[in-house]
Amino acid sequence: MKSTKHAVSTALASLLALGSLTLQAEAVAGDKADVEKCYGVAKAGKNDCKTLSNACAGHAGTDNQKDAFIALPAGTCERIVGGSLEAPAGM
């Protein structure tokens, strides 16, 4: 009896935690309008999307690669040294 109550309590707690994580993810996804692409500031392997030299996120070869971007809150990129809101020519 005791182990059944414990199992039910654990399952309920897990469902509640999962639900709150889902709500939190939806809130972040809903703020896409407040995000901008910031070129030239991503660390190697930490870019968000393709570059001129590769087709996948996470494949920037060097730190601060000019054609690699990360998504940042609007207004942030202009305050970062080396950050640019525009892709280099040819992208």
pLDDT at 50: 77
pLDDT at 89: 82
Residue 57: closest CA among 30, 81, 37? 37
Task: Give the N- to C-terminal CA distance of the chain in Å, as an integer.
Answer: 64
pLDDT at 47: 87
More confident residue, 19 or 83: 83
C-alpha angle 49-33-46 in degrees, rounded to nearest 5: 25
Dump pLDDT digits (tens) for 67-78: 889 999 999 999
Please give the backbone phi and psi of residue 84, each rounded to the nearest 5 degrees, phi first.
-140, 140
Q: Is the dihedral of CA 76, 69, 22, 33 positive or negative?
A: positive
Token pair of 55, please?
Answer: 């087709």
How crowded is residue 45: how many other Cβ atoms within 10 Å of its Cβ? Answer: 13
Dump pLDDT digits (tens) for 2-59: 677 766 666 555 544 545 444 444 445 455 679 999 999 999 888 888 777 777 888 8
